[in-house]
Amino acid sequence: MPAEGHVRVAAALANLAAQQPSLAALALSAVGGDHDVHEVALAKDSAGRIHLLIRQDLDQARFTPAFGDSLSVGWIDDPSGEAAGFLDVTCVDERLLDTFTSLAGEMLDRVDQSSSSALTEFRRVVEDWRKVLNRAVRQVSRNQIVGLFGELIVLERLARVDPLRAMAAWRGREGYHHDFALTNAVEVKTYVTAHAPRVEIHGAYQLDPPQNATLHLVTLRVEFNESGRTVADVVESIVSLGVDRETLLGRSHEDAPLVLDETYRLAIADERLYEVGPDFPGIRASRVGSALDGVDRLRYGLLLDACPGRIGETALEEVLAAL
């Protein structure tokens, strides 16, 4: 039996500590299992940064784990042609080295215990760690999770028709104003109160249609219900429809986090669809203009019963197809 993963990682780091690689080279220390010691290696570059290199076999597809700024991820081609290449995960922050090496050690342990490749097990351990970290980030409020649930429900419906187009539309533009936008746009609002249906609008652009295009507002009233679905459930459904998991999770933003919450189960109790026409109420940048200069963090309530332009929610499929 090979030594435990963390033991092999610690030995590799000790071996690399004394090495000083040149500018164009990496110092390597193999840490793979007995079946293939060269499948995984730790490496050190000339700047002293530690890399985790995992071989990609010829029949394996490439993917990009969404680590944010904490870890750098890239692919290295194999000039020998014996493998497709190597996944290169670099620890760019020394403060995260313990976490980085723990992740590598857990991956090696999983490889030793299974018949899967290191690349497959790395993808699994990253996903498991993401869930644990997301559960720990409790500063994400219940209201944010409710709002995310509504967005994902609409994304799921769009993914049933075209997964690639769904991801192109959802949070796809830098500085996006609407939840879904290609040519046209859709804004999704989710709420829980059953009294005087009301949603909260953020800023002066959420109800501003794109130039020479249409905007629809989808509102979902949800209830906390044990027979409902969690955000994590909906994410798994979207992935099963053909959306790449890393691409999906990579759409997380500080102001709109994508947390794989498994605590709250939600069920849709009411659904409304509106076309946001010229007579639709709300504060819009296109109407107010310079009066918004110096205004920050604008939020207000929109009473749905006072909104014109409601159309049957069964038309949502056509609206999404026309994005």
**CA-based nearest residue to 71, from 246, 231, 192:** 246
Structural domain boundaries, residue 249: 142-321
DSSP letters spanning 122-133: HHHHHHHHHHHH
Strand 266-275 relative to strand 310-311, pairing: antiparallel
- My answer on whether 169 and 23 are in the same domain is no
40 in the Ramachandran plot: left (φ > 0), alpha (ψ -120 to 50) or beta? Answer: beta
Residues 40, 171, single domain; the answer is no
- Are residues 66 and 207 both part of a single domain? no
Asked whether residue 96 falls in the same domain as residue 193, the answer is no
- What amino acid is encoded at 133 in this protein? L
One domain for residues 123 and 164: no
Crossing angle of helices 231-240 and 142-161, in 10° steps, is: 20
Q: Please give the tally of structural domains in the chain.
A: 2
Q: Is 154 found in the same domain as 89?
A: no
Mean pLDDT, consecutive 10-residue stretches, the chain (323 aa), reads 81 91 86 88 91 91 71 85 88 77 89 89 81 53 88 95 92 74 94 86 88 94 94 92 84 74 90 94 83 76 92 89 91
Question: How far is Cα 307 from Cα 103, in angstroms, rounded to an integer?
Answer: 51
Please report, for residues 141, 197, 198, 305, 323, the alpha-carbon distance to residue 221 in angstroms, rounded to integers and kept in the order given: 17, 8, 9, 13, 23
What's the CA gap between 170 and 248, in Å, rounded? 9
Residues 201 and 231 in one domain: yes
CA distances for 223 relative to 77, 147, 190, 262, angstroms? 50, 12, 10, 15
- Which pLDDT score is estimated for 140? 65
Q: Both tokens of residue 82?
A: 């014996």
Q: For the chain, how are helix, strand and coil distributed in percent, rounded to 5?
A: 35, 25, 40
The domain boundary, picked from 100, 121, 136, lies at 136
Question: Which DSSP helix (H) or strand (E) runs through 164?
Answer: helix 163-169
By DSSP bridging, strand 185-191 and strand 215-229 are: parallel
197 and 277 share a domain?
yes
Q: Assess whether 218 and 131 both reside in one domain.
A: no
Last residue of a domain, one of 76, 104, 136: 136
Q: Is 186 in a helix, a strand, or coil?
A: strand
- The verdict on 152 and 126 lying in the same domain is no
Task: DSSP for 38-94, please give it.
Answer: GGEEEEE-TT--EEEEEEE-TT--------TTSEEEEEEE-TTSSSSEEEEEEE--G
Same domain as 173, residue 106: no
Task: Please list the residues that pair with 40 across neighbouring strands.
Answer: 54
Q: Is residue 94 located within the same domain as residue 154? A: no
In sign, the C-alpha dihedral spanning 6, 8, 11, 12 is negative
Q: Which amino acid, one-letter code, is at 81? A: G
What is residue 185's three-state secondary structure?
strand
Cα–Cα nearest to 132, from 91, 103, 97: 103
Look at residues 136, 170, 198 and tell me which one is the last residue of a structural domain: 136
